[in-house]
Structure 1
Amino acid sequence: MKHYHYIFTGSGLSALMTVYEMVLSGKFEDKTILLIDENSKKSNDRTWCFWDENNLFEEVVSKKWKAAIFADKNFKRELNLKPYQYKMVKGLDFYKLVFDTISKQENIHFVNQKVIDFQELGNHCVVKTAAESYTCNKVFNSIFNPEIVKNQTKYPFLHQHFIGWFIKSNQAVFNPDCATFMDFSVEQKGNTRFMYVLPTLETEALIEYTLFSKDLLSAAEYETEIQNYIEKLGITEYKIIEKEQGNIPMTSYKFWKHNSKNIINIGSAGGWTKASTGFTFKNATKKSKALVQLLLTETDFTKFHKKDKFWFYDLLFLDVLNKRNDLGSEVFSALFKKGNPTLIFKFLDEETSFLEDLQVIWKCPKRLFIKALFGRLFQIN
């Protein structure tokens, strides 16, 4: 069996960001690294968006918006995002950037195989694929196992699930300078449902039908709602350029409990997804940087975790959505109707002070969150 210092089981966003940070640091040239994934990452399989006031991954940002719309059945508000911009990164562009970078490193290798098992054996680990086995000092696992969360009841587990169409319309109906962040004017049907629109030209946009809920839908249900929304926009003739589909776990489950000295769970498998929103890209950049710094000073992966006030805020929010999924629109509308969008985004980036937290939290429906708070007071450990 061939031995490596580090093996990444799965090469999704979190794995690629971590390896990329390792290369940029210049501190791991003497370490052999292997990435294993059954997906060769050569297709545009997803789109990531995030708000940013700096130049995060600027070389692969394909579109930026300085304004965004929030709407429900009762009101519509255009949000000035300054100093932030809302940015879009296409999956294929990100994969190309990272693989072009790591292909120049003689110590980093990629194999296109399916991981079937990995385990820690004393001071080393074994990773098995359908074709062969490897040994290593450390494993970075990003293969999400939903059964871990489903087999417990203490922490709610919702899905952010969606289907999106990139369309080209014969009518110029889109404002390419303004994204639609959340449009809750669609029928809620007992869930938290909204449309998400990212226009790139007056005639082109990504339109996604998204839910925060316990149960998934059939593909036809998502696509029917997209068709209805397109008609509502006044579009009569269009063609679908691409489709994308996703399912992001939303939970405050303590994934770090499953880390060991030599195996760490990263990405969705490690709770790197922002539990209350499902936003992943910016969270992964922060976590990957922190993990690389840990590698330079520590050898024990159990030391990599943080449970802070934002973890608790997310937990309360998910408790609310779990019990009253039909009121998700009400919660978000209360937040965005009169709230300061810059402060809300800063809060969602987990960069606010406690006083700033209160300014955001105070906008939320108090009865729902007080009830959730009392329900949790004696459960946290």
Structure 2
Amino acid sequence: MPEAPKSMLAYDYLLVGGGAAGLSLAYHLAQEPRLANKRVLLIEPEAKNRNDRTWSFWADEPTPFDALAVGEWRKIVFRSPGFAQIFDLGRYRYRTIRGLDFYQFVQQALASLPTQFTVLRDEVLTLENTLGGVRVRTVAGQEFTASYAFDSRPPAIEPRPDTYRYLLQHFVGWEIETTRDVFDPEVVEFMDFRSAQQREARFMYVLPFGPRRALVEYTLFSARVLPKAEYETQLLDYLANNLELIAADYRITAEETGAIPMTDHPLPARVGARIINLGTRAGRAKPSTGYAFRRIQAQSARLAAALAATGQPPADLTGDRWQFRLFDTLLLDIMQRQGEMTRDIFRQLFERNPVARIFRFLDEKTSWTDNLRVMSSVAPGPFMRSIAHVLRGRPGQRKDSAG
């Protein structure tokens, strides 16, 4: 793709950020024949030439990136004290995609359309609405205009803990190879809550890529990240006591870490008339689970379809439904004031619902009837207390804390 020259240039669409959200929208624009005459500028400071993350998701229909999956599973298992069950996913498939594979796939697709897409290695300094468009200035001093801008930079949030809830989904994972068969390659350990909760939501997650290779990850929902040694202690304990592995039985081939913001703080879908937010900046990481990849794809498809049909973004930029925002807020409230109860809530969900209903609920595709079935399957007490907190406009706090 050609680099943009150092002069004021006009584009149809400006993409700020070339991570999952920016590249996803770029790919959907590239696949839409009715937008073939549109000129798109993507500004991203990093080369995106390393595997910096992975994305997992479930789907009951084909997606544009299925061929990139390094793993596909038809079964998951949920475990907690007193309950464990393997679930056949039916028409659903659980898949994992490596970041580098995704970056290279989309970059190659854009490179095949050099007259439509331009990529600039630079950082946006200012982005503003103008009369009938947007203007951007970069750190390197270049300026560009466009009809619309799509901004996927991480959001800058001024916390208001007296009104909203702020947690993190944080984790450390090791990809390991073992000297003997250990893993069932057909079953994902979706959530294993058997470890001590320590007043938070803590579980193990295992993606088996074969009998002797898997990603083993320790994940928490809480307000603060831990010292790295604490994650490693839990991983070592799981390998030793659950998988019966000693140090000589395996080697660590890769490591991944992360901390995904989980909040009900409002994240606007747009800024003014012409700047549209994407990805986590637009709240695409689901507040109660941290899953984002499929939500990003849904927003990208929605935007591309509307631009092709009408020349402008849709009036409803995300298609989010208010009741699911409320459900997320209620669960965040429980996690914040008594995180260890999360284990029981998920156990009740998996024990009392078909897995397809759970996935539809998490995908925000369930009907009111199914929503009532899901909510009636869990103990009402914690949610009633959180409803009271929502009504009074103050987040819940731990029982031994003020508030």
TM bin, normalised by shorter chain, reads: over 0.9
Instruction: Using the TM superposition, name which of 344-353 and 116-125 deviates more.
Output: 116-125
Cα distance 1:218–1:114, how it changes in 2: closer, same or farther (>3 A)?
A: farther
The aligned counterpart of 1:282 is 294
SS of equivalent residue, structure 1 residue 255: coil
SS of equivalent residue, structure 1 residue 166: strand
Q: How far apart, in 1, do the equivalents of 2:207 and 2:286 lie?
A: 21
CA contact (8 A) 2:269 2:282 kept: no
Pairwise CA distance, 1:357: 1.1
Percent of residue pairs bearing the same amino acid type:
31
Q: How far apart, in 2, do the equivalents of 1:286 and 1:379 lie?
A: 31
Q: Which amino acid aligns with 2:108?
A: D
Deviations 1:293-332 (A, max 9, x none): 2323264677524443212211221122122222211211
Q: Which amino acid aligns with 2:203?
A: F
Tell me, yes or no, if structure 1 residue 25 matches structure 2 residue 25.
no
SS of equivalent residue, structure 2 residue 381: helix
SS of equivalent residue, structure 2 residue 234: helix
CA contact (8 A) 1:9 1:115 kept: yes
Query: Which of the numbers 87, 112, 120 marks the counterpart of 2:95?
Result: 87
Cα distance 1:147–1:70, how it changes in 2: closer, same or farther (>3 A)?
A: same
Trace 1:192-211 onto structure 2 (pairs within 5 A).
192-211=201-220
Q: How far apart, in 1, do the equivalents of 2:327 and 2:311 lie?
A: 29
Q: How far apart, in 1, do the equivalents of 2:392 and 2:257 lie?
A: 38
Instruction: Using the TM superposition, name which of 299-308 and 117-126 deviates more.
Output: 299-308
Cα distance 1:253–1:294, how it changes in 2: closer, same or farther (>3 A)?
A: farther
Query: Which of the numbers 66, 70, 92 marks the counterpart of 1:62?
Result: 70
Q: How far apart, in 2, do the equivalents of 1:162 and 1:31 lie?
A: 40
Query: Which of the numbers 350, 355, 365 marks the counterpart of 2:369?
Result: 355
The aligned counterpart of 1:318 is 332
Q: Which amino acid aligns with 1:327?
A: M
Trace 1:1-381 onto structure 2 (pairs within 5 A).
1-56=8-63, 57-105=65-113, 106-136=115-145, 137-148=147-158, 150-151=159-160, 153-232=162-241, 233-236=243-246, 237-256=249-268, 259-296=271-308, 297=310, 299=312, 303-305=316-318, 306-377=320-391, 379=393
Q: How far apart, in 2, do the equivalents of 1:314 and 1:133 lie?
A: 41
Q: How far apart, in 2, do the equivalents of 1:121 and 1:154 lie?
A: 33
Q: How far apart, in 1, do the equivalents of 2:116 and 2:132 lie?
A: 22
Q: How far apart, in 1, do the equivalents of 2:182 and 2:176 lie?
A: 12
CA contact (8 A) 1:294 1:304 kept: no
Unaligned 5+ runs, structure 1: none
CA contact (8 A) 1:261 1:301 kept: no
Pairwise CA distance, 1:265: 1.2
Cα distance 1:139–1:17, how it changes in 2: closer, same or farther (>3 A)?
A: same
Q: How far apart, in 2, do the equivalents of 1:202 and 1:322 lie?
A: 37
Pairwise CA distance, 1:71: 0.8
Q: Which amino acid aligns with 1:172?
A: D
Q: How far apart, in 1, do the equivalents of 2:363 and 2:316 lie?
A: 23
Pairwise CA distance, 1:377: 3.7
SS of equivalent residue, structure 1 residue 373: helix
Provide the TM-score with structure 1 as the length reference.
0.93
Cα distance 1:359–1:144, how it changes in 2: closer, same or farther (>3 A)?
A: same
Cα distance 1:355–1:34, how it changes in 2: closer, same or farther (>3 A)?
A: same
Instruction: Using the TM superposition, name which of 29-38 and 289-298 deviates more.
Output: 289-298
Q: How far apart, in 1, do the equivalents of 2:269 and 2:28 lie?
A: 25
CA RMSD of aligned residues (A): 2.0
Unaligned 5+ runs, structure 2: 1-7, 395-403
Q: How far apart, in 2, do the equivalents of 1:329 and 1:212 lie?
A: 11
Instruction: Using the TM superposition, name which of 280-289 and 112-121 deviates more.
Output: 112-121
Q: Which amino acid aligns with 1:120?
A: N
Pairwise CA distance, 1:183: 0.6
CA contact (8 A) 2:48 2:100 kept: yes
Q: How far apart, in 1, do the equivalents of 2:138 and 2:179 lie?
A: 48
Instruction: Using the TM superposition, name which of 308-317 and 277-286 deviates more.
Output: 308-317
Pairwise CA distance, 1:239: 1.1
Number of positions where the alignment pairs a residue of Structure 1 with one of Structure 2 = 379
Q: Which amino acid aligns with 1:264?
A: I
SS of equivalent residue, structure 1 residue 83: coil
SS of equivalent residue, structure 1 residue 240: strand
SS of equivalent residue, structure 1 residue 310: helix
The aligned counterpart of 2:400 is none
